[in-house]
Amino acid sequence: MGAFDLLRIAGSSLGAHQTWLDALANNIANVNTITPTSQGAFQAQMPVLASAAGGGVEVTGIALGDATGRLVNDPSNPLADADGYVRAPDIDLASQMTQLVMAQRGFQASVQVTKDAQDTYSSALQIGRG
């Protein structure tokens, strides 16, 4: 492991967690998005991660949830079909909120690793000065 690999690896973790947080925020913001039954529902997003060459992690894509969603009977909705149905995303808000806490904690841990590595490297550079 090179001298500054820890910073690179922690930085890659920060980027991955930020992507995860962004996807979760988008999912939560669209949990109540309604579309006509003739269209697909909002598709939840989830980052796809892989090990990066030399250590760390990288986002290799975004997996999308099922566009089928779920049918909701709401005849008063202007988007309802002739039978009174609209399409809603099949997103479990409780699961999204749980993942949000995990992503936030992972981000915070990566920030702390970055700070600790910076402090260690700074101290090492101070050796011999004086």
Residue among 3, 1, 17, 18 at smallest CA distance from 117: 3
The overall average pLDDT reported for the chain is: 93
CB-side exposure of 110: number of CA atoms within 13 Å? 20
Lowest model confidence (mean pLDDT) among 1-5, 34-38, 68-72:
1-5
pLDDT of residue 72: 97
In angstroms, the CA 43 to CA 27 distance is 8
Provide the pLDDT for residue 130.
Answer: 61
SS3 label, residue 120: helix
Residues 64-114: pLDDT tens digits?
Answer: 999 999 999 999 999 999 999 999 999 999 999 999 999 999 999 999 998
Mean per-residue pLDDT, 5-27: 94
- pTM score, two decimals? 0.88
What pLDDT does residue 127 have?
85
8 in Cβ contact with 56 (< 8 Å):
yes
How far apart are alpha carbons 103 and 16 in whole angstroms? 9
Asked if 105 and 13 touch (Cβ cutoff 8 Å), the reply is: no
**47-73 mean pLDDT:** 96
